[in-house]
Chain A
């Protein structure tokens, strides 16, 4: 869906040259979230903004849906690609409804269709359309503003979205909340998303694919699990951190571990269980943390309807040796 072929960007200011993106090639599949990960200044934003031609490409080609972006009219291209930036970039002079309706209006949609789309997007973002319609951005909280920013980018239902650290300025609790909502929405929308982040945990959580950069060079392009289990070089290893095995656990669900245990429901059932209970849909990192807080390292496992299925023990985690999330049922 989005192909980067030997993409290079050299900034020239005066006689100084900065190679912000250095001969980068990879391919993002349709309907996937690809996270651009790396330290500040490694060229993530530059690469992202070359996709919608906000920054001209020095060398190489970027193709969206098979079409070289340089052969597409820049204005048309941008209207067909959703764009979200860190500080939401909402227009302070426009109401929430006007902000969200910008691109549909640019595309010349009918009034009624625009209104309908506004209602739809607000519902999707969990905000009351009526209540926010006539409000202005300054009247909203940071989290609400960022949701509007995302709704605005989705307004014309673009197949591709570019998101530059959209949750970066939010406090951790709200950030996590929005990440979860975002994943839920993406499950239905199946957009192709390029998502810039400098946070490894965010990348693991949101990415189907992760591209790690250092000083303009692509270090590794892989699934989050591969990045964590097979870091390609020292840079990636350092960047993901010593606790990468622990981080891998967040890619798996309790469900996945339970399925590896033969006769879990028959053999582990304790009807008089009084300790903490985790859900089959919790990730294993959370589960482990709960179990470690229990004196005997155990936790009850409940299914979606909150029925106790059985009890899990820390030692069960040894079953995960050599297991990769892509071999298992569902990851996200």
Chain B
């Protein structure tokens, strides 16, 4: 327990150190200067980036959570392995391969990027939703049944609140990964901060490259923070101190 906490702190510290190093690097290669010189471009690309993440993540949440809930219902329990395996395959295929695959249907551009990002975001949410609901203590479901709750009431009052911790963790992971993956969208002409990153790479200009990378990092951190606030509001207080309880 104590050592686990310690490891977590060391990892966190190392992460902050790396981020700080990147910022320092960005400063000396002139990335911040570039950002200050082209505020309009940066704003525009960030907007595009946010649009890509926002739409694809929202779609992913809207599909993966209900799908996860569906496969935990007794009627559909038989099919959960099909769905999970399908999603697993989705995760194993590299993002670029998905892009290439979808491109042949949608062509280049925004739609393809959103589709690929959506597809890539499904698994963590789906897997955590299924695990979260499956791991709700069967005794409390049993208690709910015995007290005369309908299956709908058991789902909304018992299963869902007690699975919320896992579901939110899945969403957080998925969205944060998505922020990084969305940088690839530029490659298929969907814009976003990847524009600067890949331009920098092809021009061998680290400054330009980092002027795209640094905002991606900042976006990831800010979005993670916002999601953690939402998480606090959604997770019942009785579970917050004891994630292992459910």
CB within 8 Å: A-B pair count: 77
Closest A residue by C-beta to B241 = A138
Q: Which residues of B contact A76 (CB under 8 A)?
A: 148
Q: Which of A138-174 contact B (CB under 8 A)?
A: 138, 152-153, 162
Could you mark each residue 75-88 of chain A with 1 if its beta carbon is under 8 Å from any beta carbon of chain B, else 0?
11111100101010
Q: Which residues of A contact B140 (CB under 8 A)?
A: 89-92
Interface size, chain A (Cβ < 8 Å): 28
Q: Which residues of B contact A85 (CB under 8 A)?
A: 139, 142-143, 146
Chain B: interface size category:
20 to 34
CB <8 Å contact, A78 and B238: no
How far is it, in angstroms, between the C-alpha of A83 and the C-alpha of B149 when the chains are bound? Answer: 12
CB <8 Å contact, A93 and B238: yes
Looking at the assembled complex, report how far the CB atom of A148 sits from the nearest CB atom of chain B, in whole angstroms: 12
CB <8 Å contact, B147 and A106: yes
How far is it, in angstroms, between the C-alpha of A136 and the C-alpha of B242 when the chains are bound? Answer: 11
Once A106-B148, A138-B245 are accepted as A-B contacts, the answer to whether A94 and B238 lie under 8 Å apart by CB is yes
Could you mark each residue 141-176 of chain B with 1 if its beta carbon is under 8 Å from any beta carbon of chain A, else 0?
011111111100100011001100000000000000
CB <8 Å contact, A93 and B161: yes
How far is it, in angstroms, between the C-alpha of A76 and the C-alpha of B150 when the chains are bound? Answer: 10
The answer to whether the Cβ of B66 comes within 8 Å of any Cβ in the partner chain is: no
Q: Which of A84-138 contact B (CB under 8 A)?
A: 85, 87, 89-95, 102-103, 106, 136-138
Looking at the assembled complex, report how far the CB atom of A319 sits from the nearest CB atom of chain B, in whole angstroms: 47
Q: Which residues of B contact A87 (CB under 8 A)?
A: 139
CB <8 Å contact, B147 and A79: yes
The answer to whether the Cβ of B5 comes within 8 Å of any Cβ in the partner chain is: no
Q: Which B residues lie at the A interface, using CB under 8 A?
A: 137, 139-140, 142-150, 153, 157-158, 161-162, 236-239, 241-242, 245-246
Provide 5 A-B residue pairs closer than 8 Å at the C-beta atoms, listed in order of the A residue: A49-B146, A83-B143, A91-B143, A92-B238, A94-B157
